[in-house]
Amino acid sequence: MSFANSIPSIIPSSSTLTSPIITTCENINETSPYKQDNQQQQQNNLNQTRSSGTSPTSVGTPKENSNTGKQPPSKSYCILTPCSNSHPFEERRILVGRSEENAVKIGRSIVRLQPAHSNAIFDCKVLSRNHAILWMNDDVHFIIKDTRSSNGTFINNDRLSLSGEESEPRELFSGDILQLGVEIVDNAKKDCVHYPLIYLG
């Protein structure tokens, strides 16, 4: 799955608060050590079978996509960029795996887990510590699941689950609006705390 590389000039009217933006998804198979090692192994096998007169076979290659004939990416990068009225954070470049077991955690920062350019942790009170997870499925689409957050995960204003309940996995599409949490009032500061609102370009 590939998202547009540029920020659209018009954001859908349903988004009154502008947002962090996932701008790209990059296939990293071409430069992975696994693929390079695998190609060397295949070449060695091919040389051996030629000398023995047997038919060559493919060894250890990832399953190809039946529709395109190409190998699906094993991992992809998401780039998250904040816009003016979102909860503020610096741009992130996040590596997303292709299984729920290797999903990226989305959540609120704690002492031992702080926001970084390579994660989806936010210093934001509206998020739960374990708010949601993000991964990529076999069709190379991003999938998100709310993991019993208090303030919810929303796609196009549709809340995925009730407070404290785990949601079903939901696919994300280009143009979707992803909202993490809801606006709350910080009683100590007498101020509103905005939530991360993500436009999927």
Q: What is the pLDDT of residues 151-198, one digit of tens each?
A: 999 998 899 999 999 999 999 887 777 888 888 777 776 566 767 766
Half-sphere exposure of residue 34: CA atoms within 13 angstroms, side-chain side: 9
Of the three residues 13, 44, 72, the one that is the final residue of a domain is 72
The verdict on 62 and 96 lying in the same domain is no
Q: How many domains does the chain have?
A: 2
Q: For residue 1, is it within any domain? A: no
The verdict on 66 and 79 lying in the same domain is no
Output the pLDDT for position 74.
66
Q: What is the pLDDT of residues 67-91, one digit of tens each?
A: 556 666 667 877 777 766 778 888 8
- 52 is in which domain, residue-wise? 29-72
Give the confidence band of 199 by pLDDT, cuts at 50, 70, 90. Answer: low
Q: For residue 117, is it within any domain? A: yes
The verdict on 131 and 49 lying in the same domain is no
Taking the model in full, what pTM does it have? Answer: 0.61
The verdict on 79 and 63 lying in the same domain is no
Strand boundaries in the chain, DSSP class E: 21-27, 75-81, 92-97, 104-108, 120-122, 132-136, 142-146, 153-155, 158-159, 170-171, 177-180, 184-186, 191-193, 197-200
Q: For residue 112, is it within any domain? A: yes
The verdict on 181 and 93 lying in the same domain is yes
Q: For residue 171, is it within any domain? A: yes
